[in-house]
Structure 1
Amino acid sequence: MSSERLIYLPLGGAGEIGMNAYVYGYGAADKERFILVDLGVAFPDMDTTPGVDLIMPDMAWLMERADRLDAIFITHAHEDHVGGVAHFYAKLGAPVYARAFTANIARRKLDEHGHPPEAVRTASTWPETVKAGPFTVGFAPMSHSIPESAGLVIDSPAGRVVHTGDFKLDPNPVVGEAFDPDMWAEIAKPGVRALVCDSTNVFSTHPGRSESEVGPEIVRLVSEASGMVVATTFASNVARVKTLAEAADRAGRSVVLLGRAMRRMIEAAIETGVLTDFPKVISAEEARDVPRDHLMLLVTGSQGERRAASAQLARGKYRGLEVREGDLFLFSSKTIPGNEKGVIRIINQFSEKGVDVVDDSSGLYHVSGHANRPDLEALHGIIDPQMVIPMHGEHRHLRAHAKLAESHGRPGIVAVNGMMLDLSGNAPSVAEYVETGRSYLDGSVMVGALDGVVRDRIRMALNGHVLVTVILDEEDEPLGEPWCETMGLPDMGSSKASLVDVMEEDLNQFLMRAGAKTLKDDDKLEEALRRIVRQTAQAEIGKKPEVTVVTSRMR
């Protein structure tokens, strides 16, 4: 029996939606050569990651083996698949392959971070392939909610793997290629060892709808509007942006693109030839001279992002433009679970201004970019793999998808981040477990989940903070009384006295009776002072704040 094996290791995107990063390896154990499929990010929220800019997979395991990484392949240009490339490029160092539109986006990211844009190489589509160590990889077009998505055909000495990326079965996606069952049947002819497959919509039991179905409904809505129309969608959904712009054009409205991501995506689509007939747009400055009932703004911020154009319009003005009573705001997008609060906040702010808000609760103005359960079954049938590995989903999605595969006689397995699978046998098996998790971009610094930065920030947000300062003289005796500064705490507690005064009095009482041994030992003194502050605060306000003690000694 060969000592070489074919492995699959998700570092992100398996057991969660976002932060996709999947390692494939071939070779003897601990000597494999690797490729990486996708390197994405997720976005923070104030409840669990306050102050953080981006969340990324923990890539430490792969960085330690970067000398064995032959290439990075990006399936499409959504942030949860390409957003981490520039942040990890310096430590991974492998060439990046992507189709033209995705490559354009990736190069822009590398350039912004001072990396050479030529590190990204434009790949042709199947049957053209790229050689990377023991792997041969082809980009096979898939329909999705962004142009030039691709499933990957990954050939190794142990057989063929199909990695779907994100996909749907759309015969008329408006922009980009339609799903081609004949091409995928040809890809499957030599036999497919494993289908590593998108699981996002496994619980949706009806067949997926085509992007082309939303066009007539949007045209009708825009043509009937009396005031200014503002619409938001995912900036990366170029087909939807085009549909919205064409609806405006038909209604005799001038189109304005607001938001950096919206402009960047359309520019990339035009530069790479994905878009050839996008309606003419005007600038925000030009829009000020156009009657409101002749304007349509296409804006970023479909998920309630605080700094995006839609949120700024909801709060007031954006680039000199503002919404008024009688205007229409359209969410042509689905709210991603976890973003509901931000979206509802914006809806209420618009409502207070008298703006009519239309969301996707009717299902008329948005279709998903992911395959529903019947579509997954259809792809399983076309590919007819030896085994199915669900990915891109929370644990419940992966489990349901594995059961779906098994119901049709195909072995499936729930493989979450850090679970390395051996795909060399007749069924997938667990080879080992790898420590993985999250890393955070905090300002300009990357921090690990175990560094305590986010944990401490949450604790301060929940409990407040007290700074205690103590000065000791040359004899290790208190010089004056200790003093406290508070942040995020009320001024008075249950005793109706100043909270700071009560803390300082309790600290001073302790220092007056503390023994020489405690006063000489910084660690013991700090521990005692922290305990007193927390006890006093608990008694006064019912909270135990975070405490920082600064001890100064006169020498």
Structure 2
Amino acid sequence: MSGNERLVYLPLGGAGEVGMNAYVYGYGKPGKERLILVDLGVTFPDMDTTPGIDLIFPDMSWLIERADRLEAIFITHGHEDHIGALAHFWDDLRVPVYCRRFTGHLAARKMEERGQDPEHIHIVGAHPDVVEAGPFTVSFVPVSHSIPESSGLVIDTPAGRLVHTGDFKLDGAPVVGEPFSAELWHEIARGGVKALICDSTNIHVETPGRSEATLGPHIRELVAGASGMVVATTFASNVARVKTLAEAGRDAGRSVCLMGRAMLRMVQAAVETGVLTDFPPVISHEEAEDIPRDNLMLIVTGSQGERRAATAQLSRGKYLGMELVEGDTFLFSSKTIPGNERGVLRIVNAFSEMGVNVVDDSSSLYHVSGHANRPDLEALHELMRPQMLIPMHGEHRMLRRHAEAGAARGIASVVAVNGTMLDLTGAAPKVCEHVETGRVYLDGTLKVGALDGVVRDRIRMALNGHVMLNVILDEEDEPLGEPWAEIRGLAETGRSKAPLVDIIEAETGQFLARADDKVLTDDDKLDAALRRAVRQVAVEEIGKKPEVTVVISRLA
């Protein structure tokens, strides 16, 4: 390594939030570094802050502008917050994508869905297999998580070894997928680790994490003791949990039916790639309709209250011919992600009104997290003994607590949120640049910037309603006839009991009759004045300030 080259780390997403992961590593002369990207994920919208938006991406502008310096993309695992934006940005980046087989299966499908060539996805074996990408040598190290074939990355550089954990937990018996191997990670650390870039999600949980294998007996007991039909939901990507649930149904003498496209797709991918074996036989939803309720178990999508998923549809009535009734049991084998509480509670209450017995994770018997808790993170710190610790994958409070935990053990650490570039070349990380970053919205088929005003205007219309006012002026710039108005999302009558549209038209008509030529001949002044007039009427009549669109037509 020459003295004027540096090793840098830049999160574009995933640092200061849970989701939307995208991490850039670079090595070379300042401003000319060769780059790799680790993960390219999404986060999900909500009706309060992003109504009508389909997906939320990290702002990749900085990297797209430097795509000629990008060597490759590495995907650690198949969760949407790590892989979901890949196909949406591949045309902008156009470099090879490397991942392991199960993740590659999911990635190739995403590429095909967007009309791109899945041949750009390259399948890589686990460590010690390596990928050469410019100045980087990268290998995939198996970790346990809540989706098969999750991996950390060992990134060797001229400035030293980096270890990027990805999402992980210390689980020696994950049911499906590879266990966490302390021996392997110790071997990786033997030559020295310059920086550990580490998952921070569960740093606030003070008890050691539990193995996926601990859930089987509790789930089997619950299903065996239930009367009526049993329905369970979990994350579709948690193939190990789906298998545990299916085995519990089989052992209780029930026929098992998987419902929801994501559930069927994930199990099929796991079987096709060989990570899932000995899965219990399942029946179709058509066959399920003919099975007695006491002999049937459904495993369905929608653990987070998603309105279109099977769980929500069952809470509203029938789904694919199936219906819950009094005495049935519904199990949430999942944790509600912060922000989804209202949707899940709405479903729970709907089931309660039906007389369905709802079992959630409040007892901690039916769900374990896929992320390492604080004692497990500290155990990894001790195992790896890195020169520096860079917390990632977490909200700011998580990153800060994780950095404090590292500092308490004498490990140099710093909190780097999205857009903060760190220089890792020396003995301690230091901030060397700040990059403009943010969010990009997928709105239908188009990407729109978070600051473009599209969502802002949509929220304003949702909160305040909308009035469209149409005005025609003749060749002499005189009003031709009366203005006419259309309203959306507003009460039809107000305090005066007269139709709101009639009052708006009357008031704006009077304004036009007394307006002088300076206003009538200037579209901007006329537009502003009419907006004020409409809003004044709306405030007086209904107490609202609607969004107003004025359409001015002039006869040639």
Counterpart for residue 261 of structure 2: 260
Counterpart for residue 462 of structure 1: 463
How far apart, in 1, do the equivalents of 2:30 and 2:494 lie? 62
Amino acid at match of 1:65: R
Report the alpha carbon displacement of residue 170 of structure 1 after superposing the two structures with TM.
0.6
How far apart, in 2, do the equivalents of 1:475 and 1:122 lie? 72
Alignment of 1:416-435 (within 5 A): 416-435=417-436
- Identity, in percent, stands at 70
Report the alpha carbon displacement of residue 540 of structure 1 after superposing the two structures with TM.
2.0
Counterpart for residue 157 of structure 2: 156
Amino acid at match of 2:362: S
Counterpart for residue 119 of structure 1: 120
How far apart, in 2, do the equivalents of 1:367 and 1:134 lie? 39
Cα offsets for 1:328-350 (capped at 9, x unmatched): 11000000000001101111111
How far apart, in 2, do the equivalents of 1:290 and 1:471 lie? 67
How far apart, in 2, do the equivalents of 1:474 and 1:387 lie? 75
Amino acid at match of 1:369: G
How far apart, in 2, do the equivalents of 1:181 and 1:220 lie? 32
Cα offsets for 1:307-366 (capped at 9, x unmatched): 001111111111111111111110000000000011011111111211111111111100
How far apart, in 1, do the equivalents of 2:461 and 2:373 lie? 42
Report the alpha carbon displacement of residue 497 of structure 1 after superposing the two structures with TM.
2.5
Report the alpha carbon displacement of residue 289 of structure 1 after superposing the two structures with TM.
1.2
How far apart, in 1, do the equivalents of 2:413 and 2:529 lie? 56
How far apart, in 2, do the equivalents of 1:547 and 1:426 lie? 59
Amino acid at match of 2:232: A
Cα offsets for 1:463-503 (capped at 9, x unmatched): 11110100111111001111111111111222332222222
Counterpart for residue 79 of structure 1: 80
2:155 is paired with a residue whose SS is: strand
Amino acid at match of 2:359: V
Counterpart for residue 541 of structure 1: 542
Match status 1:510 vs 2:499: no
How far apart, in 1, do the equivalents of 2:407 and 2:535 lie? 55
What is the CA RMSD across the aligned residues, in angstroms? Answer: 0.9
1:318 is paired with a residue whose SS is: coil
Runs of 4+ in 1 over 4 A off after TM superposition: none
Cα offsets for 1:73-120 (capped at 9, x unmatched): 000101100111111111111111111111111111111111111111
Match status 1:520 vs 2:513: no
Counterpart for residue 361 of structure 1: 362
Counterpart for residue 61 of structure 1: 62
2:538 is paired with a residue whose SS is: helix
Alignment of 1:104-503 (within 5 A): 104-503=105-504
How far apart, in 2, do the equivalents of 1:263 and 1:51 lie? 27
How far apart, in 2, do the equivalents of 1:297 and 1:67 lie? 49
How far apart, in 2, do the equivalents of 1:53 and 1:118 lie? 27
Amino acid at match of 2:380: L
Report the alpha carbon displacement of residue 524 of structure 1 after superposing the two structures with TM.
1.1
How far apart, in 2, do the equivalents of 1:112 and 1:389 lie? 35
Report the alpha carbon displacement of residue 260 of structure 1 after superposing the two structures with TM.
0.8
1:307 is paired with a residue whose SS is: coil
**Gap runs ≥5 in structure 2:** none
2:351 is paired with a residue whose SS is: helix
Counterpart for residue 2 of structure 1: 3
Report the alpha carbon displacement of residue 134 of structure 1 after superposing the two structures with TM.
0.7
2:302 is paired with a residue whose SS is: coil
Report the alpha carbon displacement of residue 388 of structure 1 after superposing the two structures with TM.
0.5
2:525 is paired with a residue whose SS is: helix
Cα offsets for 1:96-153 (capped at 9, x unmatched): 1111111111111111111111111111111111001110000000111111100000
Q: TM-score when scaled to structure 2?
A: 0.99
How far apart, in 2, do the equivalents of 1:444 and 1:260 lie? 21
Amino acid at match of 2:203: V
Report the alpha carbon displacement of residue 372 of structure 1 after superposing the two structures with TM.
0.3
How far apart, in 2, do the equivalents of 1:177 and 1:309 lie? 30
**Gap runs ≥5 in structure 1:** none
How far apart, in 1, do the equivalents of 2:350 and 2:304 lie? 15
Amino acid at match of 1:365: Y
Counterpart for residue 24 of structure 1: 25
Amino acid at match of 2:367: H
Amino acid at match of 2:413: G
2:299 is paired with a residue whose SS is: strand
Report the alpha carbon displacement of residue 539 of structure 1 after superposing the two structures with TM.
2.2
How far apart, in 2, do the equivalents of 1:35 and 1:227 lie? 53
1:317 is paired with a residue whose SS is: coil
How far apart, in 2, do the equivalents of 1:377 and 1:470 lie? 69
Amino acid at match of 2:497: K
1:322 is paired with a residue whose SS is: coil
Amino acid at match of 2:245: L
2:253 is paired with a residue whose SS is: coil
- In the alignment of these two chains, the number of paired residues is 555
Cα offsets for 1:50-81 (capped at 9, x unmatched): 01111111111111111111111000101100
Amino acid at match of 2:182: P
How far apart, in 1, do the equivalents of 2:83 and 2:234 lie? 19
Counterpart for residue 15 of structure 2: 14
Report the alpha carbon displacement of residue 522 of structure 1 after superposing the two structures with TM.
1.0
Amino acid at match of 2:533: I
Report the alpha carbon displacement of residue 11 of structure 1 after superposing the two structures with TM.
0.5
Cα offsets for 1:375-407 (capped at 9, x unmatched): 000000011111110000001000111111001
How far apart, in 1, do the equivalents of 2:293 and 2:171 lie? 36
Amino acid at match of 1:427: A
How far apart, in 2, do the equivalents of 1:120 and 1:317 lie? 40
1:552 is paired with a residue whose SS is: strand
